[in-house]
Chain A
Amino acid sequence: MAYTITNREESLTVNTDVVFIFPDGSDLAVSISHFQPQSEQEIQQNILNRYESELLKKTLGEQ
């Protein structure tokens, strides 16, 4: 996967604005909320989870 974090705000919830680049070259900008993250690794895992969600939504939408 490939993504660029273009904005990040941190309080109780960390919000990351992320641009996903899909295998077909298309991209998608999303804002991902991380509620009380315990580590940077958790945020990265959440981004990966969301990427997989959006890729699946895209695949389902194209069927």
Chain B
Amino acid sequence: MADRYLVPGGTGDYNSTTNWSTTSGGASGASKPVAADRLIIDANSLNTPLTVNTPNDCLSFTASNYTGVVTINSTLQTNGITNTGNITLSAGMTITGIGTFAKKGTSVGVITSNGVVFDCNFSFTNTVASITTITGTMQVNGDLSSTLNSTVTTTVNTGTIKVGGNIIHNNPLVGTSTIELIGTNPATIIQVATRYLQTNLIINKGTGTFNQVDLYYGVSSRTLTYTSGIVNHTGILFTNNTGTTTLNTNGMTWNTIAPQGSIGFTSVCNANKIGRSSANTAMSFGGTHGFNINEFEFIFTSASITTNIVFVGNVEYKINTSIICTSEAGVGVTFRCNTGIAIINLKENAFMKMVGINILNINASNKTLRILKNNTITTSTNCFKIDSNINPYSTTR
């Protein structure tokens, strides 16, 4: 391992020995920093610019007392494992370019931006599991990516990463950090199916657009918040089956939400549809608010299923177009509230099909809920059992 200091008087090209010294402010002529070398920019760099035009590596990147410009038109990657691969920027410096600043290191590295914006792309290029601590706020005006094509995780903890471009992750991107989509450029989240984004996420695009087809999001203690922006969701939001994923997205409308387990709402959730086909595991709604949706559809196909769809007491769930909740192979699914009475507000002309469903602690506040007579209704209001030869799919009240 060696140190390479940026010194003035050179060409500015990363590859040129005219820019590098083995000592701070020393004579140039040293070889450029490579994967085992610490890249250091300091007061004795005298704000001289540095440009990366071809792929390059260094061990770590440390800048201090520097307000110059680093232009990355290719890739500059820090390679150090643990703290040897840290990235520390100097307040007032500029990082720009069409290329990518990358961090390959493993656990636990630190990125300290000190208010400097990465006006380029940023990529986590770890080849094994990694953990990075984000100090304060890190802003990336380009794309944020995690390139490892695996189920092995890239973890980002603490702090906020503001992203002006797309989020691209080929492996699960996890951790306690908050990723915030900002800026006016159209953005999307590009991911491999089932490799969930498991950080907090804020959609705050202002006049910008967030275009999303399918999205795999969430885990326990993570929240997806809508603050601003034009959201075009045309696919399915799959929420993780580990713990309760929280949505605070009033103000936007999801196309379809397919909760894989528990989902909590901390504001009214608007969606065209919430449901799962082949939904053979328990489904639990949590949080403080309900939903306002067109279609509610859970189809249980297992003959031995004995599980629940659980709602929150004293919370209203509005269903405007149809409710299809069936356990046609069995009679063990209960549409219920565990504490208090949940309010199901089914619109007047909504289509209804509830087969093999028991009802417990439900208040059908508008249109009646009807189930077949061999099922049970307990401590519920405006819910009725009907003979099987009466059309249970009627849209009448």
Q: Which residues of A contact B (CB under 8 A)?
A: 13, 15, 30-36, 38, 46, 48-50, 52-53, 56-57, 60
Residue B198 interfacial (CB < 8 Å)? no
Which of A15, A49, A60 has the most chain B CB atoms closer than 10 A to its own CB? A49
A56 CA to B206 CA in the complex, in Å?
A: 9
Q: Are B251's CB and A49's CB within 8 A?
A: no
Selected from A15, A33, A35, A52, the residue in CB contact (under 8 A) with B206 is A52
Q: Are B223's CB and A56's CB within 8 A?
A: no
Assuming the contacts A33-B227, A34-B227, A38-B137, asked whether A56 and B207 have C-beta atoms less than 8 A apart, the reply is yes
Q: Are B266's CB and A53's CB within 8 A?
A: no
Which of B178, B202, B227, B267 has the most chain A CB atoms closer than 10 A to its own CB? B227
Selected from B137, B205, B207, B248, the residue in CB contact (under 8 A) with A35 is B248
A46 CA to B223 CA in the complex, in Å?
A: 17
The 5 listed contacts between A and B (C-beta, < 8 Å) are A31-B250, A33-B250, A35-B202, A38-B137, A53-B206
Assuming the contacts A50-B228, A50-B251, A53-B228, asked whether A31 and B267 have C-beta atoms less than 8 A apart, the reply is yes
Residues of chain B within 8 A (CB-CB) of A36 are 160, 178, 200
Residue B256 interfacial (CB < 8 Å)? no
Q: Are B251's CB and A32's CB within 8 A?
A: yes
Q: Are B204's CB and A49's CB within 8 A?
A: yes
Q: Are A46's CB and B227's CB within 8 A?
A: yes
Which of B137, B206, B250, B266 has the most chain A CB atoms closer than 10 A to its own CB? B206
Q: Min CB distance, A44 to chain B, in Å?
A: 12
A13 CA to B287 CA in the complex, in Å?
A: 14
Q: Are B225's CB and A49's CB within 8 A?
A: no
Residues of chain B within 8 A (CB-CB) of A32 are 227-228, 251
Assuming the contacts A13-B266, A33-B250, A35-B225, asked whether A53 and B230 have C-beta atoms less than 8 A apart, the reply is yes
Q: Which residues of B contact A (CB under 8 A)?
A: 137, 160, 178, 200, 202, 204-207, 223, 225-230, 248, 250-251, 266-267
Assuming the contacts A13-B266, A31-B267, A33-B267, asked whether A50 and B227 have C-beta atoms less than 8 A apart, the reply is yes
Q: Which 7 A-B pairs have the closest CB atoms?
A: A49-B228, A49-B206, A50-B228, A35-B225, A53-B228, A52-B207, A33-B248
Assuming the contacts A46-B204, A53-B207, asked whether A33 and B225 have C-beta atoms less than 8 A apart, the reply is yes
Beyond A32-B227, A33-B250, A49-B205, 6 additional contacts (C-beta under 8 Å) are A35-B225, A38-B160, A49-B227, A50-B228, A52-B228, A53-B206
Q: Min CB distance, A3 to chain B, in Å?
A: 13
Residues of chain B within 8 A (CB-CB) of A57 are 230
A36 CA to B227 CA in the complex, in Å?
A: 12
Q: Are A35's CB and B227's CB within 8 A?
A: yes
Residues of chain B within 8 A (CB-CB) of A60 are 230
Assuming the contacts A30-B251, A53-B205, A53-B206, asked whether A35 and B223 have C-beta atoms less than 8 A apart, the reply is yes
| Closest B residue by C-beta to A31 | B250
Assuming the contacts A35-B223, A36-B178, A38-B137, asked whether A46 and B248 have C-beta atoms less than 8 A apart, the reply is no
A53 CA to B208 CA in the complex, in Å?
A: 8
Residues of chain B within 8 A (CB-CB) of A15 are 267
Residues of chain A within 8 A (CB-CB) of B227 are 32-35, 46, 49-50
A56 CA to B229 CA in the complex, in Å?
A: 9
| Closest A residue by C-beta to B249 | A33
| Closest A residue by C-beta to B224 | A35
| Closest A residue by C-beta to B202 | A35
Assuming the contacts A33-B250, A35-B223, asked whether A53 and B200 have C-beta atoms less than 8 A apart, the reply is no
A16 CA to B228 CA in the complex, in Å?
A: 13
Selected from B137, B230, B248, the residue in CB contact (under 8 A) with A56 is B230
